[in-house]
Structure 1
Amino acid sequence: MDTHKIMIVDDDPHICEIVQVYCEREGFISSYSHSGTEAMKMLASFEPDLIVLDVLLANENGVDWCMNARSYTNAPIVFLSSREEDEVKISALSNGGDDYVTKPFSPGVLMAKIKAHLRRVSTGRREQLLELPGLTLDFYAQSVNMGSETIFLSKKEFSLLSYMAQNVNRVVSVDALFQLIWGMESLEDTRTVAVHISNLRKKIEADPANPERIITIRGAGYMLVARSALQA
């Protein structure tokens, strides 16, 4: 089971230390920041599974930070604040927040809420995986996992691969792929499919010039071949 990562954003060092201690007791990896600017940089490098966020950051509004962060992460955000006004809570929860805990707070209650949100996300994540022999598609991260390697794809590359994965070991026509991904009104032409298939092969094939996963069926289209079918 993967260890969850918790990011704490609060300008009070004491609060950060308390939350971090309790996170570590639960076996979580945690990191904290005292400023919104620093936290935004940390967001990309730390890649948290959940964020604990103060509403009142030094020189910055935590709700505004939350709104900006939603462009980069879908991780649950639990607000931790001394503000008890309903309008503040409504603003926080309406602009990207998932929960709201008021200070002074019970660390035990906060941990219970954190674990509940992580369970919900983990359940949803399992539903966003499509597993094939030797290949797992992650619809949440728009990536493909092959063994221990994770490969991130462009939106169109992932759309092509996911459609073929849902029709594994079956021929999918070029026209079907083009209409599905680009649409009837597109200014592109069907040759665009071949370009994206070529780029996709460069990322997931051991030898793109001699593909074994995505094979061309001349005159018909393409087929994603599950590894078990190759070995049979």
Structure 2
Amino acid sequence: MTNGARILIIDDEPQIRKLLKVTLQAHSFEIHEAATGEDGVYQASIVHPDLIVLDLGLPSMSGMDVLTRVREWSQIPIIVLTAKDREEDKIAALDGGADDYVTKPFGMGELVARIRVALRHVAKTVDEPILRFDHLVIDLAQRLVELDGNRVKLTPTEYDLLKVLASNAGKVVTQRQLLQQVWGGHHHESDSHYLRIYIGHLRKKLEEDPTRPKFIETEPGIGYRFLLQP
């Protein structure tokens, strides 16, 4: 899926587009470009890319508007580039449907890794009932979790939280998204302390050293990321 995947770059800076094009072509990706949000939405509809790299700081039609427009008809993976390091901008992009974000200036190695994660994630069979991460196995059909061959006893809430994070392995899941998917509509943003408590419970049951987690990483002020890849 990753080799030869079509990537649409939507960025108004020619030097950024050139850097991305040269680097990503060297990784065997097929590259398409757009310099404006309007052209980006149009290209997305005719090129049918496998993934979009989207700059949030576009003139006229903003990156957030592009994200909203594309999400009206497609669930294609979108990685946003932002020069803004504000948590609110990252949260807004993720809640608006972005799959991941990279803050400018960024390392190309990091971006390529994020792209591969997003492409692997979308390539996985949706109906796959078992998620395997080395020595951690999550059986979605039986709601069972095993670590090193031993059953891990989780409460229903702990299991649902782990399921959401593991199903989005490699991606940032915001606090708001977790609250909605695990606790449903009956929650407030102020309930984020519940998340910290339950994440702490999961780490105690899964991690060798809960203070240095290898499974669930905290994205401060934003949410959490499940680190392992299936």
Query: Please, what TM-score do these two structures have when normalized by structure 1?
Result: 0.52
**Identity in percent:** 36
Letter paired with 1:117: A
Instruction: Give the drift of 1:118.
Output: 0.6
Give the corresponding residue for 1:96. Answer: 97
Once the two structures are superposed, residues 8-45 of structure 1 have per-residue CA deviations (whole angstroms, 9 ceiling, x without a partner) of 00110111111111111111101110101111111121
What stretches of structure 1 of length at least 5 have no aligned partner?
128-232
Structure 1 residue 57 and structure 2 residue 58: aligned? yes
Relative distance call for 1:114 and 1:126 in structure 2 (3 A) is farther
Q: Which residue of 1 aligns with 2:37?
A: 36
Alignment partners' CA distance in 2, 1:63 and 1:117:
19
Tell me, yes or no, if the aligned pair for 2:40 and 2:66 is still in contact at 8 Å.
no
Question: Partner residue of 1:117?
Answer: 118
Q: Write the distance in 1 (CA, Å) between the matches of 2:56 and 2:24.
A: 20
Closer/same/farther in 2, CA of residues 126 and 17 from structure 1, 3 Å limit: farther
Q: Give the SS at the match of 1:73.
A: coil
Shift of 1:81: 1.2
Aligned residues: 127
CA–CA distance in structure 2, aligned partners of residues 3 and 75 of structure 1: 16
The CA distance in 2 between the partners of 1:11 and 1:85, in whole Å, is: 21
- The Cα offsets for residues 111-146 of structure 1, whole Å up to 9 and x where unpaired, read as 01101111111113685xxxxxxxxxxxxxxxxxxx
Structure 2 letter corresponding to 1:35 = T
Partner of 1:10: 11
- Which structure has the larger Rg? 1
TM-superposed CA distance for 1:60, in Å, is 2.2
Seen in structure 2, the aligned counterparts of structure 1 residues 4 and 126 have a Cα distance that, compared at 3 Å, is: farther
Measure the CA separation in 2 of the matches of 1:28 and 1:126: 27
Aligned residue for 1:8, secondary structure, equals: strand
Partner of 1:53, secondary structure, is strand
Distance (Å, rounded) in 1 between the aligned partners of 2:78 and 2:64? 10
Q: Structure with the greater relative contact order (CA < 8 A, sep ≥ 6): 1 or 2?
A: 2
Deviations along 1:47-104, one digit per CA (max 9) or x if unpaired, are 0111000111011221121011012221110001101101111101100111110001
TM-score normalised by length of structure 2:
0.53
Distance in 2 (alpha carbons) for counterparts of 1:20 and 1:75: 19
Q: What is the letter of the counterpart of residue 54 of structure 1?
A: D
> Aligned to 1:92, what secondary structure does the other structure show?
helix
Aligned residue for 1:108, secondary structure, equals helix
2:22 & 2:74 partners in 1: Cα distance?
24
Give ranges in structure 2 of 5+ residues lacking alignment: 129-230
